[in-house]
Structure 1
């Protein structure tokens, strides 16, 4: 069974690129807003990893991250944040809020793939220990 990724990015080019990049080996759900992603999660969907843009229309990526990390049902889902802003303050805020990683745009697709693979492996190991 393929692992599932939830992608949240309001840029159609980035969302399409990430869906294409990971779609071969993973089940990918792409949402363009945090509100859409929260609705999808509340329908009992539990992805193995969430990749979320920092800057979103409506609820920001940071606010989305804070919300799910406070929710018992979703708090253990690893989250990787993406941002085009090179501000280290934003990276620190995300890491403090519980993000497992933070990647700057533009990124090397190979590096992103390796980091996603590492997080999915770690997530899989934690899930096995829980059962």
Structure 2
């Protein structure tokens, strides 16, 4: 059975690109923001990994990261931040807050796939 990746990004095109590169190895689920991600998790869905953008409507990715890492049921799920924000202080802050990795957009899908494999395979 394929491992499941939850993709949180308000840009559907990013989710489609990720799904194209990952679908042979992983089952990808896309939701457009952190609030829907929270609801999906609370419905009993547990992915093996979450990829989230930072800038999203309703709930930002960094707020979602803080929520998930403070929740006993979900804090063990690895989170990769995939964002156009290329600030060293932002990367350091989110890695300290529990993100497994931080990748800047535009990104190399093959590099992302290798980073995912190192985390969950």
Q: TM-score scaled by structure 2?
A: 0.96
Q: Any gaps of 5 or more consecutive residues in structure 2?
A: none
Alignment partner, residue 104 of structure 1: 104
- Residue in 2 aligned with 1:54? 54
Q: Distance in 2 between matches of 1:26 and 1:86?
A: 27
How far does residue 88 in structure 1 lie from its aligned partner after superposition?
1.1
Q: What is the aligned-residue RMSD (CA, Å)?
A: 0.8
Residue 34 of structure 2 contacts residue 59 of structure 2 at CA under 8 Å; is this kept in 1?
yes
> 3-state SS of the aligned residue for 1:65?
helix
Q: Structure 1 residue 22: deviation in Å?
A: 1.1
In structure 1, stretches of 5+ residues that fail to align are 122-131
Alpha-carbon distance between aligned partners in 2 of 1:40 and 1:87, rounded to the nearest angstrom? 30
Alignment deviations for residues 22-46 of structure 1 (CA, whole Å, 9 cap, x no partner):
1222111100011111110001111
Give me the whole-angstrom Cα distance separating, in 1, the residues matched to 2:8 and 2:75.
Answer: 17
Q: Does residue 89 of the first structure (1) align with residue 86 of the second (2)?
A: no
Report the structure number with the largest CA radius of gyration.
Answer: 1
Asked if 1:8 corresponds to 2:8, the answer is yes
Deviation at 1:84, TM superposition (A): 0.6
The answer to whether the Cα contact below 8 Å between 2:18 and 2:109 also exists between their aligned partners in 1 is no
Separation (CA, whole Å) in 2 of partners of 1:62 and 1:32: 14
Shift of 1:58: 1.6
- CA deviations on 1:82-116 (whole Å, 9 max, x unpaired) are 11121112111211110010001111111111001
1:39 is paired with a residue whose SS is helix
Aligned residues, how many? 121
